[in-house]
Amino acid sequence: MFFASDNSGPVAPQVLDALARANEGHAMGYGDDPLSQQVAEDLRALFEAPEAAVYLVPTGTAANALSLACLCPPYATVFCSPAAHIHEDECNAPEFYTGGAKLTLVGDSDRMTPEALRASIAGEETRGVHGPLRGPVSITQLTERGNVYSMEELRALTGVAKEFGLPVHLDGARFANAAVKLGVTPAEMSWKAGVDICVFGGTKNGLMGVEAVLIFDPAARSSSGAVAQNRLAAEFELRRKRGALLFSKHRYLAAQMAAYLEGDLWRDLAGRANARCDQLVQGLKGLDVTLRTEQHANLLFFDLPRRVHRELHAAGAVYSMWDSLDGPDDSIATARLVCDWSLPPEAVSEFTDLLARSL
Amino acid sequence: MFFASDNSGPVAPQVLDALARANEGHAMGYGDDPLSQQVAEDLRALFEAPEAAVYLVPTGTAANALSLACLCPPYATVFCSPAAHIHEDECNAPEFYTGGAKLTLVGDSDRMTPEALRASIAGEETRGVHGPLRGPVSITQLTERGNVYSMEELRALTGVAKEFGLPVHLDGARFANAAVKLGVTPAEMSWKAGVDICVFGGTKNGLMGVEAVLIFDPAARSSSGAVAQNRLAAEFELRRKRGALLFSKHRYLAAQMAAYLEGDLWRDLAGRANARCDQLVQGLKGLDVTLRTEQHANLLFFDLPRRVHRELHAAGAVYSMWDSLDGPDDSIATARLVCDWSLPPEAVSEFTDLLARSL
Amino acid sequence: MFFASDNSGPVAPQVLDALARANEGHAMGYGDDPLSQQVAEDLRALFEAPEAAVYLVPTGTAANALSLACLCPPYATVFCSPAAHIHEDECNAPEFYTGGAKLTLVGDSDRMTPEALRASIAGEETRGVHGPLRGPVSITQLTERGNVYSMEELRALTGVAKEFGLPVHLDGARFANAAVKLGVTPAEMSWKAGVDICVFGGTKNGLMGVEAVLIFDPAARSSSGAVAQNRLAAEFELRRKRGALLFSKHRYLAAQMAAYLEGDLWRDLAGRANARCDQLVQGLKGLDVTLRTEQHANLLFFDLPRRVHRELHAAGAVYSMWDSLDGPDDSIATARLVCDWSLPPEAVSEFTDLLARSL
Amino acid sequence: MFFASDNSGPVAPQVLDALARANEGHAMGYGDDPLSQQVAEDLRALFEAPEAAVYLVPTGTAANALSLACLCPPYATVFCSPAAHIHEDECNAPEFYTGGAKLTLVGDSDRMTPEALRASIAGEETRGVHGPLRGPVSITQLTERGNVYSMEELRALTGVAKEFGLPVHLDGARFANAAVKLGVTPAEMSWKAGVDICVFGGTKNGLMGVEAVLIFDPAARSSSGAVAQNRLAAEFELRRKRGALLFSKHRYLAAQMAAYLEGDLWRDLAGRANARCDQLVQGLKGLDVTLRTEQHANLLFFDLPRRVHRELHAAGAVYSMWDSLDGPDDSIATARLVCDWSLPPEAVSEFTDLLARSL
């Protein structure tokens, strides 16, 4: 009954196999090896973006912060939800990598609305050099509260950004879970929907620690072995190195991503995680539980009396509390449960059975 | 005949095995798992430093830049060799992580002398707020030109730093190769010799991508699960996260380091690499070759006519040129050869035989 | 009828006289001249803080950003009102000078309440290294919407900061106007009320461009000619120089401040500005005008129909619109009027007469 | 006998008069006043650069650091002399404003040679993303050791920069002294000689604290009241504000510069300072004094026995020692003497007479 995080599960066995296969003989470092080159091609093919620049980094925070640093000068501001990972969980990494840009929080929920986004953008930059200038819009799909934007919602948000000529960053730490839920292709959920730089997460979906960043600017594509000519791509490469995020033994990042792409493993793993979350939602039906996540993929927030939370924890269920566990027995507190690819169906049944008995 | 870099070889099989063993069930993220805690204890034991704060990061540049950021305020300067990796090969990462500190280059070779270091430190900070202030001394052991400082030389350098009350950072990307060469313990080559923050490299010696950083400040040791109370340790933790360098699936960094420590694998691997370099030096004896590295461990710089370099390259030897390959046949150019743990003795023999025939 | 800003009026004649008097012969630079030393003593005396470190800088943004940089590490967050100058009007200067810290906006008005501040502080730093850490509380007195915090309100806010062990910065760009309004001494409105670093503004109150910063930490006081030993004071000095804000011909900053202090000119000038604003409020009484500023000193926000605004502007009244002037005649828009020390009483009468006729 | 610095003398009386004249009535802030606009036009006319963007800042460090920040991304390096003010005297301000760029020191004297500059540039950027990239060339005219580059030397340096496609920054803190010495126009010594961004210093030549920055990029010219469209000009404006260097009461900067330009006061003041230095050189002729400055304008470095230095200081001569005063009587130490516009001829005679007696 381990629902603490999707970074808590093991790595998919295909990934370990790929690491072992990549571990033969010598290879040039820093991405100049054949496997790294091949994976970049495979990512371009998957995203139907033959001219995209493609980079692998080890953490989601790295993927986000580097992307924003390329899009946002230090005297500008990023528009994002107050629940965004870039605001809540990265210890000022975006501020660090951008050289001191600001984050403007849009609305008061995890899901930005076009109206709130438009009002927020319109409210900035009426003060000339007293600034800040308007910078990129950052969208998290799926959100940190577990909601999946529909394609219509996604396009509406990027549409507002385009009204103001602003670029769009997609924090796709759980891109796979969202795309599987929506039944869309990576291209459909990224550049075809108006995204300029997309993070295609792997770490939360069965890899050890690899995220791909795709810069869709036509002709951004970097040649290997030298600094890219395209401004965005060049900035990404130089900022990645300067951020101490360029792996010398790059083939081991590439091997993980190669396994992730082969036979659409990323879809398979995300499908498993989503299925467990569906099972969880089914199990909660008929019970006196208030769901806080409306369009779930593999995360679920819901409310229970603290007495029940305490009993579940005591019985061995591992999950995060969004409110403190301390409080009267009959007071309500919100929990966050995350299903990862490796979670067995039995763990979910055990949890919902336990919960049913406890209520 | 692959001598291009020690980040080009494969990972030691014990490391892959350890990753597979660590890949069981769920574990808390960000270092709050039992394996990560155990590895920190093991590193403290190896370095005979029970109170040290210990951190794992994925790249050598990360280890260096974070260490310097903890030791050097933005209005100070780091003293280092002009050949230092932090100056030549990190795309301004130290400047980035320190928030804009300066690097003061000491002398004109890869090996700093106590005299040059003292003169350089004395020359700074006679100008009050016109600054910069004096910051840490950074020593690279072994150096980027392949030389090992003797224990006497090392202590003389840290002694100069202590004269001025300055902290000492040791860039130990090849710590293992140097310690094996000198026949000393990790404690002897670090805090017992006056080092305050030590990088214990693994990536160049058979790991996928892990470096340990040890902060020897008594009581720096961080408790898990919260920010450390010690200033240096707290800064390291927060700057690591802010730099996007904290792994969520931290157990896979820990597993690599655990394998590295078990049965002193790090010594075994470094010993193999050093032995190949010894073999190379032996093979060059009697040939008309000018060595540029005087106290080698696993790197060797030497001079040959460009004609010979061209023949060696054409015959399949892979190594870096420190000067351009372009030039008259009989002009001299310097090569850099690196021996990694996986290099077979036959590759060295083949190279020296080829060279003997070519000269 | 010029109400656009308190940085639009002329400099007090006493200030020009002081500049002329200071313009004799040679003097050492960078603050090592007798006049600069004397002014620092005079400021310590005025604030009854013999051990305070005292610095002069040319702009209010400089005073704020340097103060915050000394109090807030880059992985922390500053608590302030969403209307604060540091958030709205400094083009990310606090983010720049702190090296990428964040600003956490407290409540939704210009005046923070103790409850909102406590809730905001409590909400941060429950996430360990995922940060940010809690940083200083920044209070603007008087606020950007023209309100003066009472002494009780001020002490309540600093009290909340002290509950959490956080330092307090006072943005006193209009310190004089607030102190005169409240009838309190500089000491009462700063360190006696729990302020740790105070900006004592001059630019908006008759100087050309000088703000004093007082660091009340006991023994912060800097000796001249060398870097201060106290950490906060040393940081201020070095960051001021690094920010290009240390004047070589420092005596001309000192001369302005000397004139400001002599015979309490600062009180006299602020009293004049406040009196004009009182006159304005009196003139609005009985008219159909909705005041938006409740505890005014020298700024006033109020609502009028756009038709009236347009007539006032056409008749030569100069003031800022807080809402767009565009809109139906009978729609309401908020204006900002600022009274500076030089504003003649006739200008106010002319304005209120005009308004009375227009309504 | 005050030779300590050209920032030690008084302000020219015309400047005080101009300040008094500007001190009438209300004016819009931040440069949107008629006088500021006029001065920008006058500077464009003086430099024969009708499309240049022109900015006033209060310190030389501000002028340099902002200029470099516009020309140098954080992953690049600035080429300059090891004696450059930006390296020696700005407490890492260039590193701060560029966001962590590096300074590459060219040669080992105050005067860069084309050969040393070419070698230095060629030596960088052979390492791709391991960086740093090549950034701007910064030239100081006259140099910090008092030497004036001839027009041929200046053009040779900018020519090397152009070979590599690099922009050129001119640190002209003593621009006037150099231009008067060479008998050239501002245009000849800036854009006509290949300079892209020029600092036209005033603070060391009779102003209180104003430097003009000219960006010669065609069409860089900024319209008032909004952010410039040209990238360089926009960056300068936003970085100036973000650096807390935009004056609200901008008319008082403009008034100083207006006085400086009127009737070529800048030439007159520089001519006086240079004449005093010529007088000093004449006075030293025939004495046993080794000059260290070969092409002087208003600064002179020369060697004397420490006994003589001590006697001169005891007799009331005020000047800086470049070496310590401590040492045997007959040992040699270098002095720096600076002549400012206000230095009376008698002070020079008194000094040289004293020296003649002492030798």
Q: What is the pLDDT of residues D29-56, one digit of tens each?
A: 999 999 999 999 999 999 999 999 999 9
On whether the CB atoms of residues D180 and D172 are closer than 8 A, the answer is no
D291 touches chain C (CB under 8 A): no
Residue A14: how many other CB atoms lie within 10 Å: 18
Locus of tokens 């105050």:
D110
Share of chain C above pLDDT 70, in %: 98
Tokens at C167, concatenated? 């330092």
Chains in contact with C, where contact requires at least 3 CB pairs less than 8 Å apart:
A, B, D
Q: If you ran DSSP here, which 8-state letter would residue B122 be given?
A: H
Instruction: Check residue A222 and give its pLDDT.
Output: 61
Distance from CA of A246 to the nearest CA of D (A): 9
C30 touches chain B (CB under 8 A): yes
Pairwise CB contact (< 8 Å): C208 & D59: no
- Name beta bridge partners: B137: B79, B168
Phi then psi for residue D123, to 5 deg, are -75, -25
A225 touches chain D (CB under 8 A): yes
**Residues near C161 by Cβ (< 8 Å), separated by ≥ 6?**
C79, C117, C121, C136, C137, C167, C168, C194
Among the partner-chain residues A20, A28, A97, the one whose CB lies closest to the CB of B8 is A28
Distance from CA of D60 to the nearest CA of B (A): 13
Average pLDDT of the residues in C339-359: 96
Question: Alpha-carbon distance C66 to D220, whole Å?
Answer: 31
Instruction: Check residue A125 and give its pLDDT.
Output: 63
**Cα-based angle D241, D244, D248 (whole degrees, multiple of 5):** 75
Average pLDDT of the residues in C213-221: 86
Among the partner-chain residues A10, A29, A318, the one whose CB lies closest to the CB of B7 is A29
Instruction: Check residue C221 and give its pLDDT.
Output: 73
Q: Kindly state the helix (H) or strand (E) to which residue C259 belongs, with its residue range.
A: helix C251-261
Average pLDDT of the residues in D9-17: 97
Question: Alpha-carbon distance A30 to B90, whole Å?
Answer: 13
Tens-place pLDDT, residues C82-119: 999 999 999 999 999 999 999 999 999 999 999 999 99
**Residues near A254 by Cβ (< 8 Å), separated by ≥ 6?**
A22, A31, A33, A35, A36, A38, A39, A56
Question: Alpha-carbon distance B301 to D309, whole Å?
Answer: 50
Tens-place pLDDT, residues A263-288: 999 999 999 999 999 999 999 998 99
Tens-place pLDDT, residues D282-328: 999 989 999 999 999 999 999 999 999 999 999 999 999 999 999 99
Tokens at D301, concatenated? 């470095």
Average pLDDT, chain C: 95
Question: Alpha-carbon distance C244 to D287, whole Å?
Answer: 41
* Domains of chain C in sequence order: 13-264 (3.40.640.10), 266-358 (3.90.1150.10)
Q: Which of C323, C292, C296 is nearest to C309 (CA)?
A: C323
C21 touches chain B (CB under 8 A): no
Question: Alpha-carbon distance C169 to C175, whole Å?
Answer: 13
The count of CB pairs under 8 A between chains B and C is 51
Instruction: Check residue C231 and give its pLDDT.
Output: 86
Q: Does residue C286 come out as left (phi exceeding 0), alpha (psi in the -120 to 50 range) or beta?
A: left
Q: Kindly state the helix (H) or strand (E) to which residue C169 belongs, with its residue range.
A: strand C168-171
Pairwise CB contact (< 8 Å): C95 & A95: yes
C234 touches chain D (CB under 8 A): no
Among the partner-chain residues D76, D92, D99, the one whose CB lies closest to the CB of B132 is D92
Share of chain A above pLDDT 70, in %: 98
Pairwise CB contact (< 8 Å): A246 & D129: yes
Instruction: Check residue A226 and give its pLDDT.
Output: 60
Instruction: Check residue D151 and give its pLDDT.
Output: 98
Helix B175-182, helix B265-284: angle, nearest 10: 70
DSSP calls for C42-56: HHHHHTT-TT-EEEE
Restricting to A residues 61-80, those with a Cβ less than 8 Å away from any Cβ of B are: 61-62, 64-66
Contacts of B131 in chain C (CB under 8 A): 238, 241-242
Q: Which of A198, A192, A90 is nearest to A139 (CA)?
A: A198
Sheet of strand B168-171: strand arrangement: B53-57, B211-215, B197-201, B168-171, B133-140, B76-80, B102-105
A187 touches chain B (CB under 8 A): no
Average pLDDT, chain A: 95
Q: If you ran DSSP here, which 8-state letter would residue D193 be given?
A: G
Distance from CA of A115 to the nearest CA of B (A): 32
Q: Kindly state the helix (H) or strand (E) to which residue C170 belongs, with its residue range.
A: strand C168-171
Pairwise CB contact (< 8 Å): D131 & A99: no
Chain B residue closest to D82 (CA)?
B104
Give the start-end residues of each E strand in chain A. Answer: 53-57, 76-80, 102-105, 133-140, 168-171, 197-201, 211-215, 290-291, 299-305, 320-321, 332-338
Q: Which of D136, D123, D129, D164 is nearest to D77 (CA)?
A: D136
C246 touches chain B (CB under 8 A): yes
Distance from CA of A260 to the nearest CA of C (A): 28
Instruction: Check residue A126 and give its pLDDT.
Output: 67
Instruction: Check residue A219 and give its pLDDT.
Output: 72
Tokens at B70, concatenated? 């903890």
Pairwise CB contact (< 8 Å): A203 & B62: no
Pairwise CB contact (< 8 Å): C102 & A95: yes
On whether the CB atoms of residues B352 and B283 are closer than 8 A, the answer is yes
Pairwise CB contact (< 8 Å): B133 & C242: no
A57 touches chain C (CB under 8 A): no
Question: Alpha-carbon distance C256 to A155, whole Å?
Answer: 57
- Name beta bridge partners: D337: D300
Instruction: Check residue C125 and give its pLDDT.
Output: 64
For residue C73, which amino acid is it?
P
Task: Tell me which residues of chain B have a pLDDT lower than 50.
Answer: 224
Tens-place pLDDT, residues C116-138: 999 999 987 667 889 899 999 99
CA-to-CA dists, residue C14 to C60, C180, D256, angstroms: 21, 20, 19
Distance from CA of A25 to the nearest CA of C (A): 39
A91 touches chain C (CB under 8 A): yes
Pairwise CB contact (< 8 Å): C89 & A127: yes
Q: Which of B78, B197, B67, B194 is nearest to B133 (CA)?
A: B78
- pLDDT above 70: residue C224: no
Chains in contact with A, where contact requires at least 3 CB pairs less than 8 Å apart:
B, C, D
The interface predicted TM-score of the complex, written ipTM, equals 0.95
Chain B residue closest to A60 (CA)?
B244
Pairwise CB contact (< 8 Å): A90 & B208: no
Tens-place pLDDT, residues D235-293: 999 999 999 999 999 999 999 999 999 999 999 999 999 999 999 999 999 899 999 99
Pairwise CB contact (< 8 Å): D129 & A225: no
Restricting to C residues 95-124, those with a Cβ less than 8 Å away from any Cβ of D are: 96-97
C89 touches chain A (CB under 8 A): yes
Tokens at C222, concatenated? 């800097």
Average pLDDT of the residues in C172-181: 98
Q: Which of D219, D174, D274 is nearest to D44 (CA)?
A: D219
Instruction: Check residue C217 and give its pLDDT.
Output: 87
Among the partner-chain residues A74, A89, A90, the one whose CB lies closest to the CB of C96 is A74
Tens-place pLDDT, residues A33-70: 999 999 999 999 999 999 999 999 999 999 999 999 99
Chains in contact with D, where contact requires at least 3 CB pairs less than 8 Å apart:
A, B, C
Locus of tokens 């390492």:
D127
Chain C residue closest to D30 (CA)?
C7
Contacts of B74 in chain C (CB under 8 A): 99, 242
Pairwise CB contact (< 8 Å): A100 & C102: no
Question: Alpha-carbon distance A65 to B243, whole Å?
Answer: 9
**Residues near A275 by Cβ (< 8 Å), separated by ≥ 6?**
none
Helix D265-284, helix D345-358: angle, nearest 10: 20
Residue B257: how many other CB atoms lie within 10 Å: 27
Tokens at B259, concatenated? 């394998």
Tokens at A198, concatenated? 């997309």
Instruction: Check residue D126 and give its pLDDT.
Output: 67
- pLDDT above 90: residue A124: no
Q: Kindly state the helix (H) or strand (E) to which residue C78 belongs, with its residue range.
A: strand C76-80
Sheet of strand A53-57: strand arrangement: A53-57, A211-215, A197-201, A168-171, A133-140, A76-80, A102-105
Contacts of D102 in chain B (CB under 8 A): 92, 95, 103
Pairwise CB contact (< 8 Å): D238 & A99: no
Chain D interface mutation, best of A129, A130, A227, A235, highest count of D Cβ atoms under 10 Å: A129
Distance from CA of C197 to the nearest CA of D (A): 18
- pLDDT above 70: residue C164: yes
